[in-house]
Structure 1
């Protein structure tokens, strides 16, 4: 088991200085402007990255925070508040939300996008490994939906990712132990499954958010108000 999730040695310099924060905010504004005018995500990020002399990790953060204004409006119109969740079924982008929670509980930097969704800098690279905060992350998610009387939670994981089967077994065991109404499925293309579902999606993946009927911003509800390591656009 890995110790923590997400934070690297130079992150406090890359994201913690006032000058860096201002520079990244300006880059997000410029990239969002380009996206609204039809420029591609990769080319827009490269352009602003070069302009502001951002390294790859900073560019990744800028990409996660940026969005065209038209996309922000569409995503906002489909976002649900927690008081509407009672007796609804939700479908969770499993690794996406778990890793975000692990990063937050590890005091890693997370980034609030212009669309209000939170993103981090972790990536799977075909393999998922639990960290010290995994159990707490799952309990926080499970308890939140239980308290808010969600009818059923369907977890979807990327089957080709190493240890996805182990995660499924862990969630089934936790559901039995704590009385969570969970279903866990493994799919080769989980993004498509979630995007085409009629259920409330729980994800921060921009591609999915543009395609779902409705979504819920779970991380916004669970992130502490005093959290130090969140950057806003």
Structure 2
């Protein structure tokens, strides 16, 4: 994705408005229209730019990789898998103001497994083996087609790698994550905001193992 210089100015303007309490959607529309940004750029701003108050709160919740050992880990399945797959495909990834890594693919409900799914799951399993959480609970959105089959595949991989835990396809994973006492692996803003401790699983793997050139650090240095 070729980045126009206007994007950085647009990000600064949006950040300015958000820090002064202006509504997010209206601010995004105003800034996007002012700079004549296309859909991808607008989505990148939505995924990457936040007010300082939210940034501070989310940074407080982030846990380093070393804290995973011996802890329970609930994995926001599609969030982590889709972000990793996007990186493996060379699609644009954004390192947001709040320090979390996000994709801008917009796949979500239309997700289908691809050849990159196997690679993404392999990276996750190898990481979990090394990080040593007490358990890993993969949560997948059951309304997404193929979720049951993917959960079964993950359970098989976990058994092969000696990882304790489970993988389930349920209607509203967010409800389970909201009551989970361990650490949540996700970069989804709604999930982060309802959680106490969060680990950016996909972001960690992208930074440590993929080192892709298509990651955009939206915050101006």
Q: TM-score, normalised to structure 2's length?
A: 0.91
Task: Tell whether the 8 Å contact from 2:125 to 2:157 is kept in structure 1 after alignment.
Answer: no
Look up the match of 1:73.
Answer: 56
Look up the match of 2:136.
Answer: 153
Report whether the alignment pairs 1:88 with 2:88: no
Deviation string for 1:8-32 (max 9, x for gaps)?
A: xxxx3xxx24xx1x32222222222
Report whether the alignment pairs 1:23 with 2:6: yes
Deviation at 1:148, TM superposition (A): 1.3
Pairing of 1:1-233 with structure 2 (within 5 A): 12=1, 16-17=2-3, 20=4, 22-124=5-107, 126-224=109-207, 226-233=211-218
CA distance in 2, matches of 1:80, 1:125: 25
CA distance in 2, matches of 1:184, 1:214: 20
Q: TM-score, normalised to structure 1's length?
A: 0.87
Deviation at 1:224, TM superposition (A): 4.2
Q: 1:119 to 1:196 in 2, by over 3 A?
A: same
Moved more, 87-96 or 33-42: 33-42
Deviation string for 1:23-63 (max 9, x for gaps)?
A: 22222222222222222322121111011110111100111
Deviation at 1:139, TM superposition (A): 1.2
Q: How many residues align?
A: 216
- Structure 2 unaligned regions, length at least 5: none
CA distance in 2, matches of 1:139, 1:93: 16
- Structure 1 unaligned regions, length at least 5: 1-11
